[in-house]
């Protein structure tokens, strides 16, 4: 449980850069944006960012593309009926676990 | 409590007193719990990985407490462990985390007007993918108390998961850790899918973003680019898809609706 001296500059740089990226737009943009194009763009951004982060990365998350695909389909189906993040994440993890069990049984 | 209910484009807007602002501490705390649970499992995996790379558990914990970002930390730890340069570390964080700048621009419009500069400096620290997504899923504008409360459980889950994973992770069977690894993605799916259901243009935007993202992962030349500048890919997908949809189907911005 030690912290090496040479680790400290890394920590400061890493945390500093990450924070500044988040902070500068929030600190600078105080006015309400009126431009219709920018407002529309910002409306779509969250969903574009999140979906690009998930697909195809999720297929490589569990180390097995079949179990990961099952987890993804499970998440989409459950999310269609439930808004709860925990329910969706839990079902998805469980489906990956069960698929892995089944695959091991047959291999 | 004088309030006026308007029907606008099928959604109900409640104008008047503070009805249009979500600023409940309790609500924020509760909304943050699912994120905290999800973060715990993902941070657990991060803790294992950081120790495997050669960091001490305390160092892994300090990174999680100060950064609060999954992709950036996953990319940063090998650089630190390998004794890479500070410039390389800074550049990697800048590229991978640049999506937060877009999110912060969006969030700047979501915060109510009374959220001042000191509050914004604190809010900025907690603007992660999932906290951002949950805060944007509120139909109202959001206040600082709600956002502060929303940050608590995810920060505890992220830090707690890291130290537990770093100290005890090696003991878990692989079948458990690989199942946990999809949790974070499933959580993001849970944010996107309900929106796809209610807005077909949002669905179109998601399809477009996913298509571009897949091109970067599977087409030969783009794939090489993605391997070298992975953090740029998400930004490019988001900017292209959002720009196309903003041009094809701009949102309604009638002044009357905005001022409510």
Q: Looking at the predicted structure, is the pLDDT value of residue B6 above 60?
A: no
Highest mean pLDDT among A64-73, B180-189, B226-235: A64-73
Q: Is there a contact between B193 and A22 if contact means CB atoms under 8 Å apart? A: no
Cα–Cα distance measured from residue B99 to residue B81, given in angstroms and rounded to the nearest whole number = 25
Contacts of A75 in chain B (CB under 8 A): 182, 185-186, 189-190
Tell me which of B196, B217, B241 is where a domain ends.
Answer: B196
Q: For an interface test with B, give the residue of A47, A59, A94, A101 to mutate (most B CBs within 10 A).
A: A47
Contacts of B247 in chain A (CB under 8 A): 37
Cα–Cα distance measured from residue A93 to residue B184, given in angstroms and rounded to the nearest whole number = 10
| Whether residue B183 is found in the same domain as residue B248 | no
If one counts every other C-beta atom within 10 angstroms of the C-beta of residue B116, the result is 11
Residue B111 lies in a domain: yes
Q: Is there a contact between A37 and B125 if contact means CB atoms under 8 Å apart? A: no
Mean pLDDT score, B230-251: 86
Residue B8 lies in a domain: no
Decide if B175 contacts A97 (C-beta within 8 A).
Answer: yes
Contacts of B99 in chain A (CB under 8 A): 49, 53
Out of B186, B245, B251, closest to residue A92 by CB: B186
| Whether residue B170 is found in the same domain as residue B63 | yes
Contacts of A65 (CB under 8 A, 6+ apart): A59
Cα–Cα distance measured from residue A26 to residue B124, given in angstroms and rounded to the nearest whole number = 7
- Strands B141-142, B11-16: pairing is unpaired
Residue B114 lies in a domain: yes
Question: Is pLDDT larger for residue B260 or for residue A13?
Answer: A13
Decide if B148 contacts A62 (C-beta within 8 A).
Answer: no
| Whether residue B215 is found in the same domain as residue B156 | no
Picking from A18-32, B10-24, B192-206, which range would have the lowest pLDDT averaged per residue?
B10-24
Residue B10 lies in a domain: no
| Whether residue B125 is found in the same domain as residue B102 | yes
pLDDT reported for residue B200: 94
* Closest alpha carbon to B48 in B155, B183, B178: B178
Q: Looking at the predicted structure, is the pLDDT value of residue B170 above 60?
A: yes
Tell me how close the Cα of A106 comes to any Cα of chain B, in angstroms. 15
pLDDT reported for residue B187: 80
Out of B55, B123, B195, closest to residue A47 by CB: B195
Out of A14, A52, A78, closest to residue B67 by CB: A14
Q: Is there a contact between B209 and A25 if contact means CB atoms under 8 Å apart? A: no
**Residues A21-63: pLDDT tens digits?**
999 999 998 877 888 998 898 888 878 888 888 888 889 878 8
| Whether residue B67 is found in the same domain as residue B166 | yes
Q: For an interface test with A, give the residue of B118, B153, B186, B193 to mutate (most A CBs within 10 A).
A: B186
| Whether residue B184 is found in the same domain as residue B247 | no
| Whether residue B113 is found in the same domain as residue B232 | no
Range of the domain at B30: 21-196
Contacts of A88 in chain B (CB under 8 A): 186-187, 189-190
pLDDT exceeding 70 applies to what percent of chain B?
A: 88
Assign 3-class secondary structure to chain B.
Answer: CCEEEEEECCEEEEEECCCCEECCHHHHHHHHHHHHHHHHHHHHHHHHHHHHHCCCHHHHHHHHHHHCCHHHHHHHHHHHHCCCCHHHHHHHHHHHCCHHHHHHHHHHHHECCCCCHHHHHHHHHCCCHHHHHHHHCCCCEECHHHHHHHHHHHHHHHHHHHHHHHHHHHHCCHHHHHHHCCHHHHHHHHHHHHHHHHCHHHHHHHHHHHHHHHHHHHCHHHHHHHHHCHHHHHHHHHHHHHHHHHHHCCCCCCHHHHHC
Cα–Cα distance measured from residue A3 to residue B112, given in angstroms and rounded to the nearest whole number = 41
| Whether residue B42 is found in the same domain as residue B136 | yes
pLDDT reported for residue A17: 96
Out of B120, B185, B258, closest to residue A58 by CB: B185
Residue B131 lies in a domain: yes
**Residues A79-92: pLDDT tens digits?**
999 877 778 888 99
* Closest alpha carbon to B235 in B81, B71, B28, B21: B71
- Is the torsion defined by CA of A37, A40, A44, A45 positive or negative? positive
Residue B93 lies in a domain: yes
Mean pLDDT score, A69-73: 97
**Which ipTM score applies to this complex?**
0.85
pLDDT reported for residue B229: 66
Q: Looking at the predicted structure, is the pLDDT value of residue B5 above 50?
A: no
Tell me how close the Cα of A73 comes to any Cα of chain B, in angstroms. 9
Question: Is pLDDT larger for residue B183 or for residue A96?
Answer: A96
pLDDT reported for residue A10: 95
The pLDDT-based confidence of A1 (bands split at 50, 70, 90) is: low
pLDDT reported for residue A20: 96
Q: For an interface test with B, give the residue of A4, A38, A55 to mutate (most B CBs within 10 A).
A: A55
Residue B238 lies in a domain: yes
Query: What's A34's DSSP letter?
Result: -
- Is the torsion defined by CA of A91, B185, B53, B222 positive or negative? positive
Mean pLDDT score, B36-64: 88
Residue B5 lies in a domain: no
Out of B80, B188, B212, closest to residue A50 by CB: B188
Decide if B212 contacts B236 (C-beta within 8 A).
Answer: yes
| Whether residue B237 is found in the same domain as residue B260 | yes
Tell me which of B175, B196, B217 is where a domain ends.
Answer: B196
Q: Looking at the predicted structure, is the pLDDT value of residue B257 above 60?
A: no
Structural domain total, chain B: 2
| Whether residue B158 is found in the same domain as residue B56 | yes
- Strand-pairing partners, residue B22, are B142
| Whether residue B94 is found in the same domain as residue B204 | no
């Amino acid at each position: 449980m030690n912290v090496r001296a040479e680790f400290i500059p890394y920590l400061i740089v890493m945390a500093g850069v990450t924070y500044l990226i988040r902070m500068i737009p929030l600190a600078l943009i105080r006015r309400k944006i009126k431009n219709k194009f920018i407002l529309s763009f910002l409306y779509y951004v969250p969903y574009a960012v999140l979906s690009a982060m998930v697909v195809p990365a999720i297929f490589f998350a569990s180390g097995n593309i079949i179990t990961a695909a099952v987890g993804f389909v499970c998440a989409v189906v459950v999310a269609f009926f439930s808004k709860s993040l925990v329910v969706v994440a839990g079902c998805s993890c469980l489906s990956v676990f069960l698929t892995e069990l089944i695959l091991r049984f047959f291999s | 409590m004088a309030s006026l209910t308007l029907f606008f484009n099928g959604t109900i807007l409640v104008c008047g007193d503070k009805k249009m602002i979500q600023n409940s501490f309790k609500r924020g705390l509760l909304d943050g719990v699912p994120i905290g649970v999800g973060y715990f499992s993902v941070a657990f995996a991060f803790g294992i990985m950081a120790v495997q790379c050669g960091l001490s558990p305390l160092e892994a914990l300090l990174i999680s407490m100060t950064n609060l970002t999954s992709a950036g930390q996953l990319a940063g730890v090998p650089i630190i462990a390998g004794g890479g340069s500070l410039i390389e570390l800074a550049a990697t964080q800048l590229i991978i985390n640049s999506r937060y700048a877009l999110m912060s621009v969006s969030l700047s419009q979501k915060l109510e007007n009374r959220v001042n500069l000191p509050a914004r400096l604190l809010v900025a620290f907690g603007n992660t993918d999932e906290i951002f997504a949950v805060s944007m899923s509120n139909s109202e504008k959001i206040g600082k108390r709600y956002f502060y409360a929303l940050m608590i459980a995810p920060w505890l889950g992220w830090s707690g998961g890291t130290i537990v994973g770093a100290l005890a992770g090696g003991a878990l069977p692989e079948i458990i850790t690989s199942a946990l690894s999809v949790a974070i993605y499933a959580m993001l799916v849970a944010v996107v899918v309900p929106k796809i259901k209610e807005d077909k243009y949002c669905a179109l935007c998601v399809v477009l973003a996913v298509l571009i993202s897949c091109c970067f992962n599977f087409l030969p030349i783009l794939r090489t680019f993605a391997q070298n500048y992975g953090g740029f890919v998400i930004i490019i997908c988001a900017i292209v898809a959002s720009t196309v949809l903003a041009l094809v189907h701009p949102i309604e911005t009638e002044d009357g609706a905005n001022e409510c």
